[in-house]
Structure 1
Amino acid sequence: MRPFRARRTTAAVGSAALAATMLLTACSSGTAGSKDNAGGDGKVTLTIDLFGTFGFKETGLYDEYMAAHPNITIKQTDTQDEGQYWQALQTKLAGGGGLADIQGLEVGRIASVVQKQADKFADLKTLGLGGVNDDLVPWKGAAVRTADGKVLGAGTDIGPEAICFRTDLFKAAGLPTDRTELAAKWSSWDGYLALGKQYVTKAAGGSAPEGNKWTDSAAGMFTAEVGQEKVRYADESGKPVYDKSPAVQTAWANSTKLVADGLSAKLPQWTPEWNKAFSTGKFATLSCPAWMIGYIKGQAGEAFAGKWDIAAGPGKTGNWGGSYLAIPRSSKHQKEAAELIKWLNAKEQQAKLFTKQGSFPSSTGAQAAIKTVKDPYFNNAPIGEIFSESAANMPAQVLGTDDGVIGKAFTDALGEVERTGTAPATAWQHALDNIKKASGN
């Protein structure tokens, strides 16, 4: 899922909306002794609070589990924007109430949880899940293990990257649509920008929709590009290096060039305007981690099946997003929650999620099972092959405690460049100032 997805962090939300979301989540969690959870008939309601689209509900996994466990009822709440979700989660963790039995955690937050909030979550080893991450790519399980050996979460998906593109818009602009040819043309980010300049020139004189641009936003490109590097925001000792990181500086330069060349549709991700643009033709390409497949289908709908396709992206690698499931210590149903997590994260279910939803498995067993998967919605694109290659080349990224804060500050600053005309150097300084203000580093 997901998506640093909102999934990943860019939509601004009013205080009233946030308060309403928190109230709804708190009321639905049932952890304060609701009738659903406190019955003496052996029936248990498990609450799950997530962000973005994990796919459990959409692919029928909850229904499958409840059919096999008639004493269990699963109730999910979700928030599309991960930044809003994280803020609400922090409020609930501080207050000790309103938490669900299972909470989703984004990979960009996991170092903060492990180093600062380990006392808030159950050690899965004590619930029989000590080996829940054993089948995963090694870095996935290592990231959620504390210094004293506690296991605070179970890994779900990872986010290998590609490029999703609109074949109909490419044809209208006279560009090739063969995914192998395109992957060669944009084998680097320089190549991606160069083809984008060709596209907007040709689209302006062709039959592409008015206002059509190469991609949705500078934020999307920036997040995808920094996701290709091992060291981004912190070094291996945990020291923040975001202000002088070559990965960040290069991604910033490329993303601001994208804006200067008129290639960005300037759409803030995870907003209604962005969602609508999946079917209106406001952009022709999208930095596309695997979990974005399900999101595109949900926003564009069946009318656009076959108009979207997927090709390997620049460098044929990168990781954007990925998540964990954790159990707050306040949960009254930790045993049942652990059993559900174990089942949801088994390789069989991870393979189903990719086949039906596009969430790429962190389970190596599931990865082996999905390499030949194709997706009819995306012109029968060999998504198993494309994303497996990206995952195989994926660096084991260094995760810092403030990755979420830092990533949001930079993408927000790129939004300033796009939508208010702020000079890149000024926006860069705004990002640094906001990071220091939010994190103290």
Structure 2
Amino acid sequence: MPIARAARRAAVRLGAVALTGAMLAACGSGASDTSSDAAGGKVTITVDLFGSFGYKEAGLYAEYEKLHPGVTIKQTDTEDEQDYWKSLQTRLAGGGGLADVQGIEVGRIASVTQQQADKFEDLAKYGANDLKDQFAEAKWSAATTKDGKVLGLGTDVGPEAMCYRTDLFKQAGLPTDREELAKKWATWDGYLELGKQYKAKAPGKSAWLDSVGSLYTIMIGQEEERYYDASGKLIYENNPAVKAAWDAATEAAAAGLSAKLDQWSPQWNQAFAAGSFATIPCPAWMLGYIKGQAGDAGKGKWDIAKLPGGAGNWGGSYLAVPRAAKHKKEAYELVKWLTAPEQQAKLFEKQGNFPSSTGAIAKVADAKDPYFSNAPIGKIFGDAAKEAPVQVLGVHDKNVADQITNALSEVERKGTAPDKAWANAKKGVDNVMG
């Protein structure tokens, strides 16, 4: 939700949750740092997130409130990160309606550090630098400005695997053993070939995968340079890695392997329970999302295998405190606690969000998930996290990605020719870049 930030980031999302007038008032529009809502030391900390962070579902808010009498945590969330980011930009520009804690998807963090540092608190003022050794270097540095301001603390990362429905595989005559499948789809060509075999004997109206946009995203997550190079130059148009992921996605569309579902849409959510697709590219944070959407009926029907083509990362998020937050100190203390190794380990074990805390990674190495056929998720995602490249992030990283996946949706849902769709993606990027 983020994964995802989304999905980074890992629970049932019934749709975008609109902020009511009362909540906007609770979030506050001033920059004061009062420590209580009323006499008696009571304080309400507001948290605004996107996708599937899983804190409420894992019981972490309730635990924090028990440890801190007088503190109440109120969360609002928006299912689609694009909608969330647009709303956040509007509120940052106006200075009002901001929560005490705001989630930031990893694809937006360069925009925050390079263009919006004046809109967020420097957490170093509250002692955040003492936490640096708890985080992977790449995760920490991405949220730190050139002059040393720490604008967010890392939640999860999104090491990638492939989730699949064992019951649907059996009905189509395909193997279900995760090790055997990892060998059969060691490459993306192997994955698409297996998809064509599945289509020939697919049960019901099920498809091989949810969307070609998710295929593209998981593939491009295996690359160090995607949309920008290390110097900050925009390179997506001529990057062979982008072309390879685009070509694989459009090939999947042409072969009819996709269920043609836009990720995060109501139809996509319903498809988990309906068995509308047999595989889904699966960053760690997707596990909790699958559990939430497929429900108890899905337990034991899912499994997880190593990703085709090697390790990669999709998503991951940060928690930040806006300058206009009402309760800055209290917000920082909550952020510090939520991102501590103990809480990151609990979140992974309950929801699947893979830790960005090095201490937490060690704690979950042996974790297994009974919902996913007792898959060794600690090892699968731990190995992927170790092997994944450190990605170059640019100011408009997420915007470029969104335009490309939007264009791929045109290909699979409207039948737009790939060349025309690519031209539309480029126009969209140009418009975003101004």
Same fold (TM over 0.5): yes
Distance of aligned partners of 1:34 and 1:123 in 2 relative to their CA distance in 1, 3 Å threshold: closer
Indicate which of 225, 228, 235 corresponds to 1:231: 225
Of residues 394, 412, 419, the one that matches 1:418 is 412
**Partners of 2:199 and 2:21 in 1: CA distance:** 45
| Contact kept in structure 2, 1:133 and 1:141, CA below 8 Å | yes
1:74-93 aligned at under 5 Å gives the runs 74-93=73-92
Once the two structures are superposed, what CA deviation does each residue of 1:266-287 show, in whole Å capped at 9, x if it has no partner? Answer: 0011001000000112100000
> What amino acid sits opposite 2:301 in the alignment?
K
The SS at the match of 1:130 is helix
Cα distance in 1 for partners of 2:252, 2:200 equals 14
Instruction: Kindly provide the CA deviation profile for residues 281-324 of structure 1, in whole angstroms up to 9, marking residues without a partner as x.
Output: 21000000000000000000001100011111113411000000
Q: Secondary structure at the match of 1:323?
A: strand
Cα distance change, pair 245–330 in 1 and its aligned pair in 2 (3 A): same
Shift of 1:136: 1.2
The alignment partner of 2:128 has SS state of coil
1:131 Cα shift?
2.8
Once residues 277 and 16 of structure 2 are traced to their aligned partners in structure 1, the CA distance between those partners, rounded to angstroms, is 29
**2:393 equivalent in structure 1:** 399
Q: Structure 1 residues 383, 61: CA separation in 2 closer, same or farther (over 3 Å shift)? A: same
Q: 1:41–1:5: structure 2 CA closer, same or farther, 3 Å change rule?
A: closer
Give 5+ residue unaligned stretches, structure 2. 10-14
Gaps of 5+ in 1: 10-16
- Native 8 Å contact 1:30 1:47 kept in 2: no
Superposition deviation, residue 187 in structure 1:
1.1
Q: What's the CA shift for 1:31? A: 5.0
2:177 equivalent in structure 1: 178
Distance 1:302 1:155 in 2: 30
Does structure 2 conserve the Cα–Cα contact (< 8 Å) formed by 1:104 and 1:324?
Answer: yes
* Structure 2 equivalent of residue 12 of structure 1: none
**1:26 corresponds to:** 24
* 1:330 matched to 2:329: no
Name the SS of the counterpart of 1:174 in structure 2.
Answer: coil
Q: In the TM superposition, what whole-angstrom CA distance separates every residue of 1:402-438 from its partner, at most 9, and x where no partner exists?
A: 0111000000000000111100000000000110011
- Verify: 1:269 aligned to 2:263, yes or no: yes
Q: Do 2:29 and 2:95's aligned partners in 1 also have CA atoms closer than 8 Å? A: no
Q: In 1, distance between residues paired with 2:362 and 2:176? A: 28
Supply the AA of the counterpart residue of 1:343. Answer: W
Could you list the structure 1 runs, at least 4 aligned residues long, displaced by more than 2 angstroms after superposition. 1-9, 17-28, 30-38, 131-134
Q: SS at 1:418's partner residue?
A: helix
Aligned length, in residue pairs: 428
Q: Give the structure 1 partner of residue 159 of structure 2.
A: 160
8 Å Cα contact 1:160/1:289 also seen in 2: yes
Question: For residues 194 and 62 of structure 1, what CA distance do their matches in structure 2 show?
Answer: 45
CA shift, 1:19, in A, is 11
Partner of 2:12: none
Aligned to 1:294, which of 270, 288, 291? Answer: 288
Paired AA for residue 431 in structure 1? A
Q: 1:417 to 1:225 in 2, by over 3 A?
A: same
Task: Give the distance between the partners of 2:56 and 2:242, measured in 1 at CA.
Answer: 36
Indicate the percent of aligned positions where both proteins have the same amino acid. Answer: 58
8 Å CA contact 2:159, 2:311 repeated in 1: yes
